């Protein structure tokens, strides 16, 4: 019986040189593993596709190809393009490995995930230990968001965080263990699990798409594992520019609202927002009373309230405008 195959997908958006560096690290890590690498240019329109295609050709990189997405539908949509493309012979791989364009696996990192999936059939997704260039661990293991995590995460108050510690979204881990969900910088997934639960939900442009996918996998009975022995260096937020955000972009609010409404319903989403606003307001009030700078993204709470109120009431209004079903329909 042939060894399981891997399709490594590296999604590029206007970071051609860094993407090539990530792909090169993946090539080293896949040297003794069966499979291929596919670089997806997510409609950069800056010459990225031509640059990457020329480099792959000039360097004679076998088992590596570059394709275009045709549109920038976001992180999930771009990775879906690669997943749907499959292997170069038209077949599906056994495993799909998602690698961020600013993430660089150690030589054995992909093999460790591969071996883990080979030996633990109840694991659907396996993700790596992510560290920065300074070798300090990044937090990439999480619990699913809830109304109480919204309150805990916005109030930033020790006694509340202690009381609600079992709801706190970030989980600091150093040993291999099951988790709710993993950041998508370095995750290997079973193709048959994706066939069962579906690919990334393309309603999410960016953020919460990994959370949603891991939730669907777990609901279908597949474990999501953090595999500490697989180490990947990650720069973080290079394509999104998150570190330089002056205001949180609309797509973050859209993704958050979609996650809560899709998985818990609109009433739950509204309660999550209300608790976030209460916690955030108390956090700002405490800062004023203590004279401490509790600054966050400018106008964040105001934008959150306006966005989610608009989404909620627009839905309610549209629902009432729907024509009544006719007898016999």
Tens digit of pLDDT for each residue in 90-146?
Answer: 999 999 999 999 999 999 999 999 999 999 999 999 999 999 999 999 999 999 999
Strands (E), 88-210: 95-99, 103-105, 123-131, 141-142, 177-178, 181-182, 186-190
Q: How high is the pLDDT of residue 242?
A: 53
Nearest to 113 by CA among 188, 35, 175: 188
pLDDT above 50 for 5: yes
Please state the pTM of the whole predicted model: 0.91
Structure tokens at 22: 């990530």
d(CA 220, CA 302): 37
Q: How high is the pLDDT of residue 315?
A: 60
Nearest to 254 by CA among 214, 219, 202: 202
d(CA 130, CA 97): 15
Considering only residues 34 and 318, tell me which one the structure prediction assigns the higher pLDDT: 34
Q: How high is the pLDDT of residue 292?
A: 81
Q: What is the pLDDT of residues 8-25, one digit of tens each?
A: 999 999 999 999 999 999
Mean pLDDT of the chain: 92
| Residue-range domain boundaries for the chain | 6-137+172-242, 244-320
Q: What is the pLDDT of residues 168-227, one digit of tens each?
A: 999 999 999 999 999 999 999 999 999 999 999 999 999 999 999 999 999 999 999 999
- The position carrying tokens 């709470």 is 301
* Statement: 6-137+172-242 belongs to CATH 1.20.1280.50: no
Cβ partners under 8 Å of residue 204, min gap 6: 74, 75, 76, 212, 255, 258, 259
């Amino acid at each position: 019986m042939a060894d399981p195959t891997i399709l490594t997908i590296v999604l590029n958006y206007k970071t051609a040189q860094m993407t090539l560096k990530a792909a090169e690290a993946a090539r080293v890590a896949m040297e003794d593993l069966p499979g291929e690498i596919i670089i997806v240019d997510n409609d950069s329109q800056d010459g990225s596709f031509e640059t990457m295609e020329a480099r792959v050709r000039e360097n004679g990189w076998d088992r590596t190809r570059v394709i275009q997405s045709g549109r920038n539908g976001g992180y999930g949509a771009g990775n879906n393009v690669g997943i749907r493309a499959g292997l170069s012979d038209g077949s599906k791989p056994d495993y799909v490995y998602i690698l961020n364009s600013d993430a660089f696996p150690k030589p054995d990192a992909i093999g460790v995930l591969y071996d883990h999936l080979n030996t633990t059939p109840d694991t659907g997704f396996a993700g790596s230990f992510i560290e920065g260039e300074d070798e300090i661990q990044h937090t990439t293991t999480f619990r699913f968001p809830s109304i109480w995590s919204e309150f805990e995460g916005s109030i930033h108050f020790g006694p509340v965080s202690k009381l609600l510690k079992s709801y706190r979204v970030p989980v600091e881990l150093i040993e291999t263990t099951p988790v709710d969900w993993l950041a998508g910088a370095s995750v290997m997934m079973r193709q048959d699990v994706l066939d069962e639960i579906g690919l990334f939900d393309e309603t999410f442009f960016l953020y919460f798409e990994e959370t949603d996918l891991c939730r669907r996998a777990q609901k279908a009975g597949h474990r999501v594992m953090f595999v500490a022995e697989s180490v990947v260096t990650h720069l973080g937020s290079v394509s999104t520019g998150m570190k330089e955000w002056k205001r949180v972009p609309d797509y973050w609010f859209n993704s958050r609202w979609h996650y809560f409404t899709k998985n818990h319903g609109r009433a739950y989403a509204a309660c999550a927002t209300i608790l976030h606003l209460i916690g955030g307001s108390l956090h700002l009030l405490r800062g004023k009373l203590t004279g401490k700078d509790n600054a966050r993204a400018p106008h964040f709470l105001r934008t959150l309230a306006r966005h989610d109120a608009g989404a909620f009431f627009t839905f309610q209004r549209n629902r009432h405008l729907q024509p009544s079903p006719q007898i016999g329909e």
